[in-house]
Structure 1
Amino acid sequence: MRFMSISQIRGTIEETFEPKRNALNAVRLALALSVIVWHSFPLTGTPSPSHPVTQLLGETGVDGFFAISGFLIVSSWIRRPAWWPYLKARFLRILPAFWACLILTALVIAPIGILLAGNGFPDGYAASAIGYVLHNAGLEMTQYGIAGTPAGVPYPDVWNGSLWTLYWEFLCYLVVLALGLANLFRFKIVVPALFVLCLAGLIVTTTGLSHNVDLTNGSRFGLMFAAGALIYQWRTVIPARWWLVGVAAVIVAVSSLLPDYRVVAALPIAYGVITVGTLVKARAFRLRNDVSYGTYIYAFPVQQVLASAGLSALGVPVFAAIAIPLTLLLATASWFVVEKPAMRLKGARVVTPPPVVLAE
């Protein structure tokens, strides 16, 4: 089942993309690393840079993740429109590593941070740690701290400020499932209509007509996911060209001057990250082991441990430089110990995208 017939245009995304020879894992890793840099501002108590820089550095990582996810997840359904294999694959990709992160944070990472801060364990830590795991196990983050920790850091009472986006990621998966079960992907207007609907929601919240947080987040993440899905829908006619990537980058940069750059930049971001991943075929960038998800989910608690040790005083560049290799070590362990074994339970070869992710 496909959205369109194969175009005769040479060098389209459809013709250029090779499942075994692409750099999408490398692109996702770069996006995850950009989140570490961005989080180094609030986690060191450094004032945020100007609004355009904040948008480009602080939000393109998450937005790019959602765009790639929209491209690959819709593709996954179109290639195999079966609800249980689809849902099983999504569960196995997100939840085991997510649960492991919650448990490891409560039992190991947070205690290390508390000890490095020179503080004793607060009263009720054990009960709060159990609550941290159980209350957040359904992907919707409702408890960020554990018994008032981390304390004495620039960003207190939050051990992981990144995981909240996974809830919205999974909601996007469920929307794809619902549209697939209703057989609506056969109508070419459906994905563009969802894109326009999310764009309208974003404009409503950006202009202050609504201050509903769910509408704001749903519009933002839905827009980027739909942008990736649109690239997939029109992959047979969209050319994959480096010069167009450059044009997209310029549009994104200029749009950062707007109150919300996604109003203009959503599709250019989606085109840019997907096309770069498609065009780069060098072996060095074909990452067989996808540590981008682990990088995303472990970076924040690692940075909070560093802040608890007083390293936030070193400033953003040094703080980020220390956090990156430590995070990559945990991410690599997460891939080999949790993620890859879990994905084998699908009964298929381990080639699937991670969730998207990134945080404010």
Structure 2
Amino acid sequence: MPVVYIALWVLWPIATLAGGLALAPLTGLAAILLIPFCVARLRLPLYLWPLLAFLGFAAASSSWSPQPMVWADINFSEGRFNIKSEALRVGLLVPAMAVLWVALSSATSGTKRIIRRTALLALVAQAVIVALLSAFETDALALFAPLMANSGEGVQNISRNSLIMAMAAPSLILFATLNRSGGWTLFIAVLVIALEALGLLHRGVHAGLLALVGAGLAIGLVTILPRYGFRIMGCGVAALTLLAPILFGWIARGADASLATSSMEWRLAIWRRVTDLISEAPIIGNGLGVLRTIEDRIPEGTFAGELLVPNHSHNMFLQLWVETGAVGAVCLALFLILVAWRLPDFSRLGRSGLAIAGLFGGVTAIACVSFDLWNAWWWAAVVIVGLLALVFPNPGEMETTRQASEPRTITFGGGSAITMSSVKGAPDTDESRPSGSWTISEEGAPSPLSIDRDETTRNNFNLLRLVFASMVAIYHCVKLSGVDAWTPLTAPLSVAAEIGVQGFFVLSGYLVMGSLERSSSIASYAEKRVRRVVPAYAVTVLACALGALWWVGDARADLSAVARYIVWNLSFLNFMEPNLPGVFVGNPQTEINGALWTLKIEVLFYLILPILAWILRVAGGMRWLLLVAIYVSAELWRAALEQVSASTGQAVWIELSRQLPGQMSFFIVGVAFYLWREALTWRSLLPALGVGLFLLSVTVPAAEPLRALGLGVTSLWCALAWPQLFDAARWGDLSYGVYIIHFPILQVIVALGLFASSPALASGVSAAAILLGSVLMWWTVERPSLRADSAYRKGV
């Protein structure tokens, strides 16, 4: 029996390429073929009654609708069998789904495996087709022009496929990551979501982006609250259904189609007009198809001459209200609540639960901004994808694989102890010597420090951090010097400096997560963070202030400004007071230490990490979903603020995009690789994929959301898999010192005029001064501030 459903997936790429209109009749045909085998097992559960009541009332509302309604056009002698009623077409999908559900419920594990593989291939094929059509849109439209009424139909088909892919993205990821390790799972999930998001951004299909966000939020909800997640979701969407006129009416207040310059502004004007129409018949609605009778046109502006309401409201919840009123809304809300209460706990569903949650969240998001409520092909696509939830292996079937492939739970203190299963890292309480392959033992106390230095420093973390810090310092040298001949170098070095900062964040995610896991308590973790970061930072800030008071009269004359500088900078809020009175006023830039802006991001990450670790522990085996959600949210935050900056011309939005949570994707990649460090193998395609994604993100601006993933894989591969190239910490761990002191040193040399007279000599003096200052900072401030058992002290 399930072979009929398999046939649907075989035809899926062809049907979607044609715009998806064939999906509804194909679903109906599949159900008709299966009825003889399933009719005896069909039941009408309680939760379906409100849905049937809603569909029946919607059909009845056509009797008072101003839109003429034709139910069907049937003439067997002429070979015509067309269902004209939209409500009837959608309504027939309910029994069709029930028949397919019963058929799949009896499928064997082998049949389910075939369905999974067929569906995966079909979704990948569709993704490739959509990518090719988007990349070569003009040529594709010309190729298929004889099959279309106009080119607009082809453009709409491509965008429609993009939305289908967004809706099916959770199932695609879940199939592609089945039986894979946590590291590969995270990599594939981020890659799929990033590619989907890039395609949707390229086409301007914002509804698809909302679908990805909605799916992520829904999956996160059931992961964090496995017992009540589905119920909260069902009640939440039920509330959205009941309150739609109030909520969307408030959002659309003041919208005017004549002033609209974008499709979103036009959509808001549509919502405003529809909410006005809802108020005319709030109880039983205005009848099915009422929006098609509105012939008002936009009098002026960008969309002058267009229909104010083009056939539907571009919001299914508002369309439900305007056509069926409060009666229809109550019926559908009751159906949603009953379904949510009918679903078992997420912990009993495993990946099937993830697929259901992702589909529910994505479809809800799309329903808020797109499609006609009675779009039969769309609901057929939802049904076909939704039925995939039945073909995932049961959680019990995957338990052995999960226990073997996933890292243990994060714990602190007496609950468990950390021991070492291979000698690639040090079991030290400080993160400077990263662990290579750690396991958790049940001995109840931390293991002793018994690994000597030769076995704990065979990695390239110190070298990488020094390289990243030097990249930032070199960029600032060129930028601050004001040397005209170096101007062409500014742009490429700016990218290099940005990569240096982002690389720091990746390494911090990996190393500090290890430090947290190895800490006996949160207090111990906090103490280590303070000892490592604050003393050198405070000395740098105070030294600059004292130097200004000693040499600059304006600073002595304005002690309140100096005090403000000290207070704000010691609070890591450098942007509040970046300057000192009279200092560097003749330089191209007057900031005292423009490199310190990243430290507040680092400190915020330190504060967030214990909370994140607790949530990851609660999430258990589903922690990768949370990490993916954080990654995607960070990239969406940054992209959204960059677009706001581009549209408003205000640079402040760019600055905000560079803060948290915009940088969280880099930290989270490091955290993820630490959590799955035992399951990862570098003798695979992973390094090549990472380097490829990193190079792509640097050379193609549209691929920048992939940089955190590519840079993370590349930098950690260099740090962990390569043989040690050079022991950068032999004379001291200088990377932190180089980073925090290079800017004021360069500013002093610029102020002395050395760059103006001899750029080469000034560069050499700057490098020597920075190196000497870093060594002195290490031996006089950083190292004495560390705990006696720190690997930093023992390793140098």
Structure 2 Cα separation of the partners of residues 351 and 244 of structure 1: 31
CA contact 2:693–2:709 (8 Å) conserved in 1: no
Deviates more, 1:91-100 or 1:199-208: 199-208
The alignment of Structure 1 onto Structure 2 pairs a total of residues equal to 336
Write the deviation string for residues 180-214 of structure 1: whole angstroms up to 9, x where unpaired. Answer: 34544634222222112112212212333793743
Say which SS state the counterpart of residue 197 (structure 1) adopts.
helix
Give the equivalent residue in structure 1 for 2:318.
Answer: none
In the alignment, what sits opposite 1:150? 584
Gaps of 5+ in 2: 1-181, 184-401, 407-420, 427-455, 648-652
Render the CA deviation track for 1:205-246: whole Å, top value 9, x for unaligned: 233379374344214321111121122233233322598556
Write out per-residue CA displacement over residues 263-293 of structure 1, whole angstroms, 9 at most, x where no aligned residue. 1211111112222121344373252521100
Q: State the Cα deviation string for residues 34-83 of structure 1 (Å, max 9, x = none).
A: 111111222012536475x2553120110000000001111222333621
Tell me: CA distance 1:351–1:195, structure 2 relative to 1, closer, same or farther (3 Å).
farther
- Correspondence 1:124 to 2:557: yes
- Per the TM alignment, residue 6 of structure 1 is displaced from its structure 2 partner at its CA by 6.3
Q: Secondary structure at the match of 1:328?
A: helix
CA-CA distance at 1:24 after TM superposition:
0.5
TM-score, structure 2 length as denominator?
0.39
Matched, 1:295 2:738: yes
- CA distance in 1 between counterparts of 2:692 and 2:762 reads 29
Distance 2:598 2:611 in 1: 20
Distance in 2, matches of 1:331 and 1:143, equals 25
Residue of structure 2 in register with 1:358 after alignment? none
- Percent identity reads 24
Q: Secondary structure at the match of 2:786?
A: helix
Distance 2:703 2:541 in 1: 33
* Further displaced range: 73-82 or 136-145: 73-82
Q: Larger radius of gyration, structure 1 or 2?
A: 2
Aligned counterparts of 2:496 and 2:752: Cα–Cα separation in 1: 26
- 1:200 alignment partner, one of 628, 636, 645: 636
Q: 1:216 to 1:160 in 2, by over 3 A?
A: closer
Aligned-residue Cα RMSD (Å) equals 3.2
Q: 1:241 to 1:111 in 2, by over 3 A?
A: farther
For 1:140, give the aligned amino acid.
L
Match of 1:191 in 2: 627
Q: Tell whether the 8 Å contact from 1:70 to 1:226 is kept in structure 2 after alignment.
A: yes
Match of residue 527 from structure 2: 88
Whole-Å separation in 2 of the counterparts to 1:253 and 1:305: 36
Q: How does 1:222-301 map to 2 (within 5 A)?
A: 222-240=664-682, 245=687, 248-259=690-701, 262-282=704-724, 284-285=726-727, 287-288=729-730, 289-301=732-744
Q: Distance in 2 between matches of 1:6 and 1:323?
A: 52
Higher relative contact order (CA 8 A, sep 6+): 1
Aligned equivalents of 2:702 and 2:517: distance in 1?
Answer: 32
Moved more, 228-237 or 85-94: 228-237
Separation (CA, whole Å) in 1 of partners of 2:679 and 2:627: 16
Contact 1:40 1:319 in 2 (8 A): no
CA distance 1:291–1:261, shift in 2 (3 Å): farther
Alignment correspondent of 2:752:
309
Deviation at 1:317, TM superposition (A): 6.2
Which of the numbers 547, 550, 572 marks the counterpart of 1:139? 572
- 1:307 is displaced (CA, Å) by 0.4
Indicate if the aligned counterparts of 2:565 and 2:577 stay in contact, CA closer than 8 A.
yes
2:785 corresponding residue in structure 1? 342
Code of the residue aligned with 1:162 in structure 2: it is A
Please state which structure has a larger fraction of its residues in helix: 2
Measure the CA separation in 2 of the matches of 1:122 and 1:48.
Answer: 35
**Pairing 1:73–2:512 present:** yes
CA contact (8 A) 1:179 1:185 kept: no
Question: What CA distance in whole angstroms lies between the structure 2 residues aligned with 1:213 and 1:286?
Answer: 33
Take 2:609 and 2:556, find their aligned partners in 1: how far apart are those partners?
44
Moved more, 65-74 or 191-200: 191-200
The reply on whether 1:165 has 2:590 as its aligned counterpart is no
Deviations 1:296-324 (A, max 9, x none): 00000000011001123268766444322
Change (3 A) 1:280 1:125: farther
Answer yes or no: is the 8 Å Cα contact 1:42–1:48 preserved in 2.
Answer: no
Gaps of 5+ in 1: 9-13, 353-360
Decide whether aligned partners of structure 1 residues 260 and 92 sit closer, same or farther in structure 2, where only a CA change above 3 A counts.
farther
